[in-house]
Structure 1
Amino acid sequence: MEKDKKTWNKSELWTNELEVLKSIINTTGLTETTKWGGPVYTLNGKNVLGIGGFKNYFTIWFFKGVFLKDEAGVLVNANEENTKSLRQWRFESVNDINEKLVLSYINEAIAVEQAGLGIKPQSREIPVPEILQQELDANPELKAAFEAFTPFKQKEFNEYVGEAKQEKTKLARLEKIRTLIFEGRGLNDRYRK
């Protein structure tokens, strides 16, 4: 049985309002595409902004909004803990849309993209679990084979062993990856093409 595919704006509460935003955006030369179930506008294949409707508001978000001056003070960070660059401008009515102001923000977002500004994603360092480190220290051939993997594949092994809660599960996972490491196969290679 196939699950229903989630769509971005199921309620259709903001159809007319989103059309007003689209009509403004369409004057800028950005290319409309659909990503994550909603309209996203790009410049040379790079995400610049998107629009969508939510329960209590509709919004235009700027993928690199952190670089916008926001002189009108309209942008919000929807998730302070996780969102570094994206900023939203929320509207509750079509009357909230000031076409000239929206267009100035869009043009500034385009200039930010053209300037190549951006925040590099931070990689989360996954430490080598103690049980795996002990095994690597005790077996030089295993250690050499492990170190031959890319950092990405090493990280997969570290996560796989480290996420186990019980000692017996860690030992079983260690046994499984030992074979893979010696064979030069990554943990998830069978799923990659």
Structure 2
Amino acid sequence: KDHCALLFHKGALLKDPKSLLVQQTENVQSARQLRFTSVKDIERSTPVVRAYMKEAIALEGAGKQVALKKTADFDMPEELEAYLKEDAELRKAFKALTPGRQRGYLLHIGGAKKPETRVARIEKCRDRILAGKGWNER
């Protein structure tokens, strides 16, 4: 990597007037990063880092929460919907997964551009779903 990062778990709540906070991926809902590419960059940013940390501590102390998107609000890939409709065992196992694991599969499977890739991902993940594991768990 060409940077080091300071992660704020509830970074989405921070005021960011200079747009310094980075959202790691489009699917990250709450966390934000301050990224640094050199020691001088860190030294120059010390006042900003302190201000962000003070604000983060105040938000935490106030009990503020990020309004997270519910799993039901994520798009269900058509192919997964068809598999779940046809395979009762898979449907039951998928519904038994935690919302986070379900979301992981929705994003992983839905992230494929081609239908055949989505089908391949479903077939590859079937055993893990039946075992109650997330898509990237061993």
Q: Is TM more than 0.5 here?
A: yes
TM-score of the superposed pair, with normalisation by structure 2: 0.57
Q: CA deviation at 1:119?
A: 4.2
Fraction of identical pairs, as percent: 28
Q: Does 1:6 align with 2:3?
A: yes
Find the aligned partners of 1:181 and 1:114 in 2 and give their Cα distance.
Answer: 37
Unaligned runs of at least 5 residues, structure 2: 24-29, 33-46
Find the aligned partners of 1:115 and 1:36 in 2 and give their Cα distance.
Answer: 17
Contact (CA 8 Å) 1:129, 1:161: kept in 2 or not?
Answer: yes
SS of 1:137's partner is helix
Find the aligned partners of 1:65 and 1:161 in 2 and give their Cα distance.
Answer: 31
Relative contact order, CA 8 A, sep 6+: which one is greater? 2
Q: CA deviation at 1:180?
A: 1.4
Q: Does 1:181 align with 2:124?
A: no
Q: CA deviation at 1:118?
A: 5.5
Find the aligned partners of 2:125 and 2:90 in 1 and give their Cα distance.
Answer: 10
Find the aligned partners of 1:162 and 1:151 in 2 and give their Cα distance.
Answer: 16
Q: CA deviation at 1:65?
A: 6.1
| 1:142 match | 90
SS of 1:36's partner is strand
Unaligned runs of at least 5 residues, structure 1: 8-34, 38-45, 48-62, 67-75, 87-101
TM-score of the superposed pair, with normalisation by structure 1: 0.42
Structure of higher CA gyration radius: 1
Q: Letter of the aligned partner of 1:78 in structure 2?
A: K
Q: Does 1:117 align with 2:62?
A: yes
Q: Letter of the aligned partner of 1:121 in structure 2?
A: V
Q: Which has the higher helix share?
A: 2
Q: Does 1:133 align with 2:73?
A: no
Q: Letter of the aligned partner of 2:121 in structure 1?
A: R
CA-atom RMSD in angstroms: 4.0
